[in-house]
Amino acid sequence: MSDILDQLDARRDEARLGGGERRIDAQHAKGKLTARERLELLLDPDSFEEFDMFVKHRSTDFGMDNKHFPGDGVVTGWGTINGRKTFVYAQDFTVFGGSLSKTHAQKICKVQEMAMKNGAPIIGLNDSGGARIQEGVEALAGYTDVFQNNILASGVVPQISVIMGPSAGGAVYSPALTDFIFMVRDSSYMFLTGPDVLKTVTNEVVTAEELGGAKTHTTKSSVADGAFDNDMEALAEIRRLFDFLPLNNRAGTPTRPFFDQHDRIDNSLNTLVPDNPNIPYDMKELVEKLADEGDFFEIQRDFAKNILCGFIRLEGQTVGVIANQPMVLAGCLDSDASRKAARHVRFCDAFEIPILTLVDVPGFLPGTSQEFGGVIKHGAKLLYAYGEATVPKVTVITRKAYGGAYCVMAPKHLRGDINYAWPTAQIAVMGAKGATEILHRKDLDDAEKTAAHIADYEEKFLSPFRAAELGYIDEVIQPHSTRRRVNRAFALLKDKQLQNPWKKHGNLPL
Ligand code: HXC
């Protein structure tokens, strides 16, 4: 009997060694942790339960029948993060470069299916040379099975991808189908076609880092939602994000104890908006001052900085935040900002996370590059996302809400539930100067008349009161009591019921 038990231990020890000491050393030398070390940091101590530790590939070509590593290059299972369950897979680069065989894919599919059945998120730690070259189409079939499960799981359980090494070719499409992608700086990259092929086909000379490193994907392509300096920081931040997320689309948002006064008055907010409407201020300051303990998890921090997206907690409950940022492009909406915010609104709505929108937007960014780039379609994405969302929606207009951008940024007319404005709000088709230049073109040579027209327009529209008279703003509130008002609004909306008309699915302007 003891022999059999010893055998199990020996088999487990062998599996835990992955591709062996030499390859583990090579992994460490690159500043990367192994798959198992990563899972240890991601999950609560002793919570990891592994599946399929002894699975082996079944290929025989190219001498593969003599090359076997138990587990076949991916560690799968489940565990907990601060006591809440999650399914996980971590590709093991020390085994065939973490490449994906048919059996490797089957292991991932198994945890994906368990995640959907059991209503828990799935976190994938990607570190792979792509399709197992020796397996040909079998590996491609395996990838596509994973993609299909990514698609089915979308909107059912949160899916998080962390890129911690190579991710090349069609392999990038599994992360791309998930809700969030995070990368590790200097050790991860994602591209469809690598630098060598690029050089041959297009004559472009570019490094892997330039083509698909963390900087590229967080600042230019927006493929990634964030980047971290090393494996340890990445895994700690994923734990932090996980705490904000519901386990599935029916579980409701997590609520946890908070140590912040629910009606905290913040007098500094009374002077956040400068007297001069052309002077910017940092909207992040408002987000942080509203949040429980100032904790804001920002998504896509380095892309389309004219809009802020992320998660905070209010009275312990997760809330998704979308906020114009006047510090960048005066807070204008453009194609990138619209896409970024639309995606966040849709994630929140899919997982029943209430949405707080903070508005200071002088309009859509004008210009040929925006028009040629399809700002009409991209802006429509945000409009569609807000209008489709049935979760509680609370909006606070701090300053400008002009033109089409007013219509897009969660107004009453897109089924906003509680819409507040600060006394500094200006809700109008456009600014007073622009309006005068159009309405009173013939008087423009007369400075006195022009000044009078501007003053007239300002008095009529550049305040929240015209909108408040019409009921488009539920209440004009004091900036210093915004946290209390917003908290009360979300408390009121806790049992909100709203359903869209039945349809197979809508046709989001993609
Ligand atoms: C089988 C692979 C492999 C692969 C790496 N290895 N990639 N084995 N299939 N795709 C093995 C290597 O043979 C080596 O084995 C070990 O993994 C480590 O690889 P190295 O090359 O030594 O590591 P490194 O120098 O760090 O380079 C990593 C790499 C490189 C950049 C990922 O290995 C590479 O270019 N691999 C091929 C990438 C690729 O073209 N993949 C197919 C993409 S197309 P030993 O035994 O020496 O340790 C694709 C299609 C998906 O994925 C389509 C989905 C629809």
Residues of the chain with pLDDT below 50 are none
Residue with tokens 């905290």: 264
Q: Which of 68, 99, 173, 209 has the most ligand 1 atoms within 8 A of CB, as the residue to mutate? A: 99
The tens digit of pLDDT for each residue in 202-228 reads 999 999 999 999 999 999 999 999 999
Do 272 and 418 share a structural domain?
A: yes
Do 160 and 22 share a structural domain?
A: yes
CA 248/CA 158 separation, integer angstroms: 6
Q: What is the pLDDT of residue 446?
A: 87
Number of domains in the chain: 3
Q: Is residue 256 part of a domain?
A: no
Q: Is residue 249 part of a domain?
A: no
Do 46 and 149 share a structural domain?
A: yes
Q: Is residue 96 part of a domain?
A: yes
Do 240 and 327 share a structural domain?
A: no
Instruction: Bin 136: left if φ > 0, else alpha if -120 < ψ < 50, else beta.
Output: left
Q: Is residue 255 part of a domain?
A: no
User: Domain range for residue 184?
Assistant: 2-244
Question: Known catalytic residue: 169?
Answer: yes
Distances, alpha carbon 412 to alpha carbons 315, 394, 417, in Å: 24, 9, 7
Active-site entry in 119, 194, 316, 404? 404
Nearest alpha carbon, ligand 1 atom 55: 170
Reduced to 3 states (helix: H, G, I; strand: E, B; else coil), residue 78 is strand
Q: Is residue 250 part of a domain?
A: no
Do 309 and 170 share a structural domain?
A: no
Do 301 and 288 share a structural domain?
A: yes
Nearest to 292 by CA among 324, 325, 255: 255
Do 446 and 419 share a structural domain?
A: no
CA 129 to centroid of ligand 1, rounded, Å:
4
Q: Is residue 258 part of a domain?
A: no
Distances, alpha carbon 194 to alpha carbons 94, 136, 433, in Å: 21, 19, 51
CA 228 from centroid of its chain's CA atoms: 15
Nearest to 405 by CA among 369, 422, 430, 436: 430
Q: What is the pLDDT of residue 1?
A: 66
Do 302 and 238 share a structural domain?
A: no
Do 130 and 72 share a structural domain?
A: yes
Cβ count near 501 (within 10 Å): 5
Do 419 and 435 share a structural domain?
A: no
Active-site entry in 20, 31, 170, 367? 170
Q: Is residue 508 part of a domain?
A: no
CA 82/CA 241 separation, integer angstroms: 11
CATH of the domain at 23: 3.90.226.10
Question: Which tokens is 25 given?
Answer: 């050393």
Q: Is residue 253 part of a domain?
A: no
Angle formed at CA 74 by CA 72 and CA 80, multiple of 5 degrees: 145
Question: Which tokens is 296 given?
Answer: 């804001």
CA 188 to centroid of ligand 1, rounded, Å:
14
Do 106 and 140 share a structural domain?
A: yes
Do 22 and 113 share a structural domain?
A: yes
